[in-house]
């Protein structure tokens, strides 16, 4: 489904990213869509999606560690809360972009805009 303005501009759309049964608890997946590099994570059975590139210095968070606190960057170890995108510790200070997620019939959809 796309959200389109009266001038025809696409504000957002839901993109099928992967099957729910491909992402077990504690696992993360890369998902690229156009110019976006997205991280999809199964944190204790709940699915989250965020930008995949650390806001501090360009590290790929899919190479990091997923814990109950969020995802920890592999380079300088900032941990990002996957519900809010907020970095919980330095050196990262800028939040990650968080994407809305929905699940329909075993398919994980991400809302991109």
64 phi and psi angles, rounded to 5 deg: -90, -160
- Rg, C-alpha atoms of the chain: 14
Residue 49 binds ligand FES (CB under 6 A): no
- 78 near ligand FES, rule: CB under 6 A: yes
73 in contact with ligand FES (CB under 6 A): yes
Indicate the residue among 42 and 79 with the shorter CB distance to ligand FES.
Answer: 79
Which three-class secondary structure string do you get for 15-62? Answer: EEEEEHHHCCCCCEEEEEECCEEEEEEEECCEEEEEECECCCCCCEHH
Q: Does 75 bind ligand FES (CB under 6 A)?
A: yes
**Between residues 79 and 109, which has the closer beta carbon with respect to ligand FES?**
79
Task: For ligand FES, give the closer residue by CB, 4 or 57.
Answer: 57
């Amino acid at each position: 489904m796309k959200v389109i303005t009266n001038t025809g501009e696409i504000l957002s759309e839901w993109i099928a990213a992967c099957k729910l049964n491909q992402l077990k608890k504690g696992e993360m997946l890369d998902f690229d869509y156009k110019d976006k590099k997205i991280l999809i994570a199964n944190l204790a059975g709940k699915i989250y999606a965020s930008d995949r590139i650390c806001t501090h210095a360009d590290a790929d968070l899919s190479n990091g560690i997923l814990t109950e606190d969020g995802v920890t960057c592999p380079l300088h170890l900032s941990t990002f809360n996957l519900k809010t995108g907020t970095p919980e510790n330095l050196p990262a200070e800028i939040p990650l972009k968080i994407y809305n997620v929905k699940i329909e019939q075993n398919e994980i959809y991400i809302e991109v805009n």
